Structure 1
Amino acid sequence: MGFQHQFAWRLTGTLASPVVEVQSLDPYNPQETFNDKLTILDVKARDAAGRVFQVEIQLSAYADLTARMLYGWADLYRRQLRRGQEYSILKPTYAIWLLDQTLRDDTPAYAHRYRMRDDRGQNLLDHGGIWIFELNKFAVQQVETEQQRWLKFFNEGEHLDDEKLPEWMQTPVMRQAMSTLTAFSEKDRAYHAYQARQEFLRQQRSIQQELEKERAAKEAERQAKEAALQAKEAALAEVARLKALLQQQKDG
């Protein structure tokens, strides 16, 4: 379990106990509609201390994604307790999200850590949190931390030659990660599912861009018509005012 242990530890900076349980749920979770989530990995793990880890690679970002992140974390945290059990048995829960699209347009930062704190930075309870990594913002060339090493692997792993790994991949854990990726790629069904999902993503991005352009064009047209109508109404009102003024002068 060393590979999964190192993965959760390095990304969150949490020195977790050895992972004792790993569950992979719905790899290549398909979209039923355009607005559905598109997820290619959902892994849940528990370490020897009972702490819970969830890892999701999310290819599409949408308006309600942050609400889903918080709901998912809360659900994982809640599921630790069964009826009649004490709150004292609750363990920290860590949700790790790797995003292919931008979630935060207001900052160039690619890593975000959200925990339960007040406005002075004091923890209400140190029971994990939500870690978000926007891979499309990650552009580090020189690896300096283990977190950067993992993020670079997620960005570039599919293009690496497992027989000629770069220097930043020359660690036992990263070689194991590459071996896992290579074994994954050799499974025809999984490989073709991955390729199909990538193509699907490209198509959906293109559709999304076209929809946004169409919405923008319709909105511009609506605003232009509204402005023209307002101008016409203003002109008619001015004509009516002038007529009334002339009539008053005649009557006077």
Structure 2
Amino acid sequence: MIYNIDPKVDCVFKAILGRRSRRHLLLHFLNAMLEDKLRYPLVKVTILNPYSSKDYETDKLHIVDIRAEDSRGRQFQLEIQRKNYTSLPERIVYSWCHLYQEQLEEGMNYDELQPVYSIWLLTESFGHKRLNAAQQAAKTATQTKSQPPPPLRHYALLDESGRAISDRCGGITICELHRFEFKDDIVSSEAQRWIRFFMEAHRLDSNNLPQWMRTKEMRQAQHTLRTFSANKQARYLYLSRLDAQREHLTILHEHDMMEQELQQAKSAQELAQAERDQAIERELRAQAERELAQAEREQAIERELRAQAEREQAIERELRAQAEREQAQAEREQAQAEREQALAELAELKKRLKL
């Protein structure tokens, strides 16, 4: 009976690329994935942690990666990850940094450091960190709609102009397998050939391989799948690893769901608190507006009272002025009467004197 063997299961992945007897497959894979990152193609690699089925017999959660070194001392790490989680980017960076720093042994100099290339094959979308305000502003200024990054991409230590801080750093390659779409028998590069193999090989008929699989490397990789299918012990290892991975993925999924629920509860709590804060702020603003309106009313009343007092004072001044005018008029009339009386008396006196 022929069983469909998925090359993305960790033990199969490492059996394909991590056997010393098949290191030419690893060499071909590295040259394909790092084609534009290496000045010259690799001609020889040494696998530092070769495949052994015993690694998986007692440890369900055995961390599977493939580490290799070329004749110049450059380091290579391969890992396949079937579940994304929040801190995966940090884990990827940490493992790359760890491989880089562990090259230096006692008495060695920094100029003896060699590049480290880390390649991660992912079956779920890679979580990207939120852009900071400056990055977001720059991004908004250059494009109106956010575009997803390419499914195969390389990260390196570069400045804003693309200049490397050192030519001995290497970098990290991320390959999101599920985002590739293939049509017919066409693959445009050896990297795409390997990517398509990991995505589709478990569904292929080994007796009738498509054209894109008919290369020496693909046939040898497919042979490893047939070995896991035909060999009872290898098949048991595959099924146990598949079960362990499913169990682990289930636990991670449940953890993610719990984390999501907690995050949703936290977000709901923060939203409720924000709404309460906004309600309090609105009430405070309304209270301030009421107090301001009351103060304005009191000021208006005070202004009206002052205006009334000023009007009353004006009336009082007018009355005093009127009284003063009337008094002056009375005094003028009295003076006029007194003059007229004096003139009359003078005329009477003159009249008497003539007599």
Q: TM-score range, shorter-chain basis? A: 0.7 to 0.9
| Higher deviation after alignment, 195-204 or 138-147 | 195-204
* Corresponding residue of 2:306: none
CA deviations 1:2-61 (Å, max 9, x no partner) are: 111111111111311212234148669856xxxxxxx86311111233221100111222
**Residues 122-169 of structure 1: per-residue CA shift (max 9 Å, x gap):** 233223211111112222333111111111111122222222221111
Letter of the aligned partner of 1:7 in structure 2? F
> Which protein has greater RCO, CA pairs closer than 8 Å, 6+ apart?
2
Task: Tell me how far apart the structure 1 counterparts of residues 109 and 283 of structure 2 sit (CA, whole Å).
Answer: 73
Q: 126-135 or 208-217, which moves further after superposition? A: 208-217
- State the SS of the aligned residue for 1:23: coil
Secondary structure of 2:188's counterpart equals coil
What amino acid is aligned across from residue 194 of structure 1 in structure 2? L
**Pair member with larger Rg:** 2
Which residue pairs with 2:211 in the alignment? 167
Q: Over residues 187-225 of structure 1, what are the superposed CA-to-partner deviations in whole Å (9 max), with x where a residue is unaligned?
A: 112333224413542564365346525632552365246
Contact 1:116 1:126 in 2 (8 A): no
- Aligned: 1:7 with 2:55: no
Instruction: Work out which of the residue numbers 152, 160, 164 in structure 1 matches 2:196.
Output: 152
Q: Structure 1's 11 and 227: CA in aligned 2 closer, same or farther, altered over 3 A?
A: same
> Which residue of structure 1 lines up, in the alignment, with residue 8 of structure 2?
none
Corresponding residue number in structure 2 for 1:140 = 182
Q: Note the aligned Cα RMSD (angstroms).
A: 3.3
Is residue 2:163 matched to residue 1:122? yes
* Structure 1 spans left out of the alignment, 5+ residues: 32-38
Given the two structures, how large is their TM-score scaled by the length of structure 2?
A: 0.58
> For residue 46 of structure 1, what is the aligned residue in structure 2?
69
Q: Comparing both structures, which one devotes a greater share of its residues to strand?
A: 1
Provide the C-alpha distance between the structure 2 equivalents of 1:3 and 1:183, rounded to a whole number of angstroms. 16
Verify the 8 A CA contact 2:85 2:256 in the aligned structure 1: no
Provide the aligned length of Structure 1 versus Structure 2. 245
**Conserved 8 A contact 1:24-1:41:** no
Assess, with a 3 A threshold, how the Cα gap between structure 1 residues 40 and 143 changes in structure 2: closer, same or farther.
farther
Q: Name 2:246's counterpart in structure 1.
A: 198
**Corresponding position of 1:82:** 105
Which residue of 2 is the match for residue 176 of structure 1? 220
CA separation of 1:136 and 1:213: change in aligned 2, threshold 3 A? farther
CA distance in 2, matches of 1:240, 1:19: 76
Which structure: greater helix fraction?
Answer: 2
Change in Cα spacing, 1:58 to 1:226, as seen in structure 2 (3 Å) is same
Match in the other structure for 1:34: none
Does residue 20 in structure 1 map to residue 46 in structure 2?
Answer: yes
